[in-house]
Amino acid sequence: MHLSVLVRLPLAVARAVLAALRGRLGALCWSLAPLSLPLPLSLPLPLPGWRRVSAPSPTAPLGSRREREPEWDDASPTPTSVNYHFTRQCNYKCGFCFHTAKTSFVLPLEEAKRGLAMLKEAGMEKINFSGGEPFLQDRGEFVGELVQFCKQDLKLPSVSIVSNGSLIRERWFKKYGEYLDILAISCDSFDEDVNVLIGRGQGKKNHVENLHKLRQWCREYAVAFKINSVINRFNVEEDMNEQIKALNPVRWKVFQCLIIEGENSGDDALRQAEKFVISDEDFERFLDRHKDVSCLVPESNQKMRDSYLILDEYMRFLNCRNGRKEPSKSILDIGVEAAIKFSGFDEKMFLKRGGKYVWSKADMKLDW
C-alpha cells in the first residue's frame, strides 16, 4: 500500500493496516528462519501446523535418499473467535480455576489494540475478553477501552466479556454498553453457601443478588446476557431449572470441571482442583436434569480442551493438547499466522460444539 493512500485513511484504520503489515512481515521473517533449531528428540503429538513427510524407500535412488525436513502445512486455522485473557489477576478464589494469577502482567493499552487489529486482519469476527477478572484493571476502564475500540474502530461483529460481575457498576454500562454485544457472568450455584464453598464468596456481598442486578442492567442498556456455570462436585446435584428460566439468558454455558496441569493441578499450580472433579456420568446426569432449558449449551472436557483459541496476557496462543497450557510466541513478535500454528486449535471441534452462533446483538431478536 502506498503511503499516500495511508495518509488519506482515518487514523485508527491506518494504524490497523500498519499493524497488520508489521505482523505479516514478522511472520514472513520467522518462517524464513533456518529450520535447524533444536527440537525435542520425540514429541507425543505432531506440532500443530507441521505435516509429516514420509521417509524415502530404502530402494529409492541414492540422490533421493536424504533426510527430509518437516514442512509447514500451508493451511492455518482462521482466528474467527478469540478469547483474550489480558489479565490473570482476580478478586475471587474459585478452587477449580484453570487460568490462575501466575503473573500480574497486563499489556499497555496501545499494544493490546495493535494485537487486536492484527487479529482482525487475520479474520477475527468475535473477541471475548476474560481473565482473571477483566474489571479489575483500571476499574473496568481498560476493558471498556478495548470493547469500544473493537466495535467502533475494528467494527467486529461480536464483542463479549466474561466476568464474575462483582466489580461492574451501572456507570460502566452508560459509557460502554452500546459497544458490547454479550456480557457473560459466571454463576455456579444459586445457593450462596455453595458459592462460598467454591470460592465465589466475597464477604457480605451476595453473588446471586448481584447476578439479578446485572441482568436488569443488561436489559436497560441493550446488552445480551449470558451465564457460565462450571459443574463440579459441590453443585452437580443442584436443580437450577427455575432460576435459569427466570433469568432468561441468551445462552447458558455449562462446563464440566476441567483439570489443566500447572494451573489447577500439579506442584507448580496455584490451585488443586482434584476435589472438584466429576465423572462424565455425573455431568450427563446434570445435563439430563436440565434438558428442558432451551438456552443450555453443554461443554464436556472433550469439547472444551482444544476448541478454544486462547490468547494470554502476552498475546501468546495457549496450546492445551498435552494437558498443560504451552504458549506460542507472541503475535506481536511473529504475527498471527505464525503463532496460531502452535495453538493446538481444533477448528472442527470448535464448529461441532456450536462455537459459531448468532453472536452480534444486532442480529438477535431480543425483548430488551
Residues taking part in catalysis: 90, 94, 97
Direct distance between the N- and C-terminal alpha carbons of the chain, in angstroms, rounded to an integer: 44
**Main-chain phi, psi angles of 185, to 5 degrees:** -110, 130
CA distances from 232 to 154, 197, 215 (A): 38, 12, 24
**Main-chain phi, psi angles of 104, to 5 degrees:** -110, 15
- For residue 83, what are the β-bridge partners? 128, 310
Residue found by looking up cell 471498556 in the block = 144
Q: How many CB atoms lie within 10 A of CB 325?
A: 20
Identify which of 130, 129, 128, 135 has the alpha carbon closest to the alpha carbon of residue 91.
Answer: 135
- The count of C-alpha atoms lying within 13 angstroms of the C-alpha of 158, restricted to the half-sphere facing its C-beta, is 24
Identify which of 185, 159, 335, 203 has the alpha carbon closest to the alpha carbon of residue 249.
Answer: 185
Q: Kindly calculate the radius of gyration of the chain based on its CA atoms and give it in whole angstroms.
A: 22
Do the beta carbons of residue 189 and residue 198 sit within 8 Å? yes
Identify which of 196, 147, 128, 146 has the alpha carbon closest to the alpha carbon of residue 356.
Answer: 128
- Say how far apart CA 152 and CA 155 lie, in whole Å: 5
DSSP notation for 309-323: EEE-TTSEEEE-TTS
Q: Which residues contact 227 (CB under 8 A, 6 or more apart)?
A: 184, 185, 186, 187, 211, 244, 247, 249, 251, 252, 253
- Say how far apart CA 351 and CA 341 lie, in whole Å: 18
Identify which of 278, 168, 281 has the alpha carbon closest to the alpha carbon of residue 229.
Answer: 278
